[in-house]
């Protein structure tokens, strides 16, 4: 029997670099600082809250939009943090992780032929999601120099055409570790004000902003909040990436369209996890303490890297540290990351993997969301380079 030939919806997509580098790390016994997930456990109280929810009978379908108690907790938190009052009933939806929230926002808003501006390097789900919607990704590259990465808002403005439907932003930014500031929000608002352009704001690392800087959520900016899908993740905030629970906040007219798609690509999200998270959110300390928790790990890792031949770039947010290796090797980023994994036994991710077209900057990304002993072990190996 012959299997019919299937025309791919994503012909340019293969196995992700995260899968490849994690497999290479396992093969060579390397410390895996590549894929972005913690190697430590979450708060036991969160596990207890989920267990209690299961035993209390919260094991059937949740409402399509999410448990009201969780949506209300999110709305209260967003109002307290960013000063924007989202209506829990009509403007917040619980998603199966942030990635599902991202693709659902794109599918509900982007039609065939619409252009979506994407600022590169970027998280690898954005452009395939746009392609699946029939949209046209329009990449704009960040500037990178000795001071690190920055968004060239003049280039973003120049990329706008009558077909532009959406601009995707990400702060704190994966993979570069940069953050947007108020001036960036003002620049973005100047581009979209008076247009029908929507904003998709990926803010999954919202509680990982360092050195006393505030998180510049688009929710803080009235011009942007009025046209934005804001995405966040419990997995990142509470060290439970495998639970795949997140949320999207947006004005009611946008959320109504979002939910039309959401109900058919997921319908509802894990009920006991939602109930457990709602109970756990009664204590704000876990997310309030997160900046200090990760800043200590960042500082430990940066101090160790300062004794190596790598050149540090700024790391103002997320749990990622980018470094230049031009003082070490002239290999391509992919080749260098593979060499580092095989020979030094520390896995990193080439930043070139976060671009739609080959782009070499001589930079790789490490993840420092690891136990101190994991970081120290990696630093000992990196010091031998």
Q: Are residues 279 and 49 in contact, defined by beta-carbon separation less than 8 angstroms?
A: yes
Domain of 105 in residue numbering reads as 45-286
Q: What local confidence, expressed as pLDDT, does residue 213 receive? A: 97
> What pLDDT is attached to residue 81?
97
Per-residue pLDDT, averaged over 103-128, amounts to 97
> For 290-331, what is each residue's pLDDT tens digit?
999 999 999 999 999 999 999 999 999 999 999 999 999 999
In 10 A of CB 344, how many CB atoms? 18
| Predicted confidence band of residue 12 (pLDDT cuts 50, 70, 90) | confident
The verdict on residue 2 lying in a domain is no
Residue 11 belongs to some domain of the structure: no
Does residue 7 sit within a domain? Answer: no
Residues 270 and 292 in one domain: no
Same domain for 166 and 98: yes
**What is the percent of the chain with per-residue pLDDT over 90, rounded to a whole number?**
95
Q: At what angle do helices 252-265 and 97-109 cross, to 10 degrees?
A: 110
Q: Which residue is listed with tokens 């209300």?
A: 72
Contacts of 143 (CB under 8 A, 6+ apart): 149, 150, 151, 152
Tell me the C-alpha distance between 112 and 94, whole Å. Answer: 27
Task: Write the burial class of residue 385 (CB in 10 Å: 0-12 exposed, 13-18 middle, 19+ buried).
Answer: middle
- 3 within a domain of the structure (yes/no): no
- Residue 274 domain-assigned (yes or no): yes
What's the total number of domains in the chain? 2
The dihedral formed by the CA atoms of 118, 351, 319 and 275, expressed in degrees to the nearest 10: 50
What is the pLDDT, as a whole number, of residue 146?
80
- Does residue 10 fall inside a structural domain? no
Shared domain check, 214 and 104: yes
Whether residues 164 and 247 share a domain: the answer is yes
d(Cα 304, Cα 11) in Å, to the nearest integer? 41
- Say yes or no: 193 and 327 in one domain: no
How far CA 298 is from CA of 35, 203, 368, in Å, comes to: 16, 19, 7
**CATH number of the domain that residue 64 is part of:** 3.40.640.10
Q: Are residues 259 and 376 in the same domain?
A: no
Closest CA to 21 of 379, 351, 330: 351
pLDDT score recorded for residue 78: 98
Kindly report, residue by residue over 199-243, the tens digit of the pLDDT: 999 999 999 999 999 999 999 999 999 999 999 999 999 999 999
- What digits encode the pLDDT tens for the residues 87-102? 999 999 999 999 999 9
Same domain for 35 and 144? no
Within-domain flag for 173:
yes
Q: Which of 244, 267, 286 is the last residue of a domain?
A: 286
Tell me the mean pLDDT in the region 115-132. 97
Q: Please answer whether residues 340 and 348 qualify as being in contact, where contact means their C-beta atoms are separated by less than 8 angstroms.
A: yes
| Nearest-angstrom CA–CA distance, 334 and 339 | 9
pLDDT number for residue 358: 87
Residues 343 and 266 in one domain: no
55 and 143 co-located in one domain? yes
Residues 214, 221: contact at Cβ < 8 Å? no
pLDDT at 284 over 90: yes
Question: Is 5 a member of any domain?
Answer: no
Average per-residue pLDDT in the chain? 97
17 has a pLDDT exceeding 90: no
* pLDDT value at 35 more than 90: no
pLDDT on residue 13: 87
Whether 237 and 297 share a structural domain: no
Among 269, 286, 303, the domain-final residue is 286
List the CATH number of the domain containing 302.
3.90.1150.10
- Is the same domain home to 97 and 194? yes
User: Which of 286, 318, 349 is where one domain is finished?
Assistant: 286
Written as six digits, the tokens of 139 are 């990449």
What would the pLDDT profile of 340-360 be if each residue is shown by its tens digit?
999 999 999 999 999 999 899
pTM flag (> 0.95): yes
Residue 31 clears pLDDT 90, i.e. is over it = yes
120 and 226 inside one domain: yes
């Amino acid at each position: 029997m012959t299997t019919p030939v299937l025309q791919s919806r994503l012909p340019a997509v293969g196995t992700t670099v995260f899968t490849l580098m994690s497999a290479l790390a396992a093969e060579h016994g390397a410390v895996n600082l590549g894929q972005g997930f913690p190697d430590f456990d979450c708060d036991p109280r969160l596990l207890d809250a989920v267990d209690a929810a299961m035993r209390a009978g919260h094991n059937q379908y949740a409402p399509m939009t999410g448990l009201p108690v969780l949506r209300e907790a999110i709305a209260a938190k967003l109002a307290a943090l960013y000063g924007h009052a989202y209506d829990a009933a009509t403007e917040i939806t619980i998603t199966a992780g942030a990635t599902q929230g991202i693709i659902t926002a794109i599918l509900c808003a982007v039609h065939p032929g619409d252009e979506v501006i994407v600022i590169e390097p970027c998280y690898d789900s954005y452009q395939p999601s746009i392609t699946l919607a029939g949209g046209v990704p329009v990449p704009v590259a960040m500037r990178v120099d000795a001071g690190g990465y920055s968004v060239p808002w003049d280039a973003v403005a120049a990329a706008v055409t009558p077909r532009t439907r959406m601009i995707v932003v990400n702060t704190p930014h994966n993979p570069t570790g940069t953050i947007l500031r108020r001036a960036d929000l003002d620049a973005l608002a100047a581009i979209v004000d008076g247009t029908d352009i929507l904003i998709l704001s990926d803010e999954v690392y919202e509680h990982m902003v360092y050195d006393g800087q505030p998180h510049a959520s688009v929710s803080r900016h009235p011009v942007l909040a009025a046209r934005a899908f804001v995405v966040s993740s419990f997995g990142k905030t509470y060290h439970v990436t495998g639970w795949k629970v997140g949320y999207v906040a947006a004005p009611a007219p946008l959320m109504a369209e979002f939910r039309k798609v959401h109900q058919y690509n997921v319908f509802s999200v894990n009920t006991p996890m939602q109930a457990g998270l709602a109970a756990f959110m009664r204590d704000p300390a876990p997310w309030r303490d997160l900046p200090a928790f990760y800043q200590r790990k960042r500082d430990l890792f940066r101090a160790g890297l300062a004794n190596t031949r790598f050149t540090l770039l700024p790391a103002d947010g997320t749990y990622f540290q980018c470094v230049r290796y031009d003082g070490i090797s002239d290999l391509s980023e992919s080749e260098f990351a593979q060499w580092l994994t095989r020979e030094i036994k520390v896995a990193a991710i080439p930043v070139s993997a976060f671009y739609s077209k080959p782009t070499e900057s001589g930079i790789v990304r490490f993840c420092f969301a690891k136990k101190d002993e994991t970081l120290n072990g990696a630093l000992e190996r990196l010091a031998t380079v």
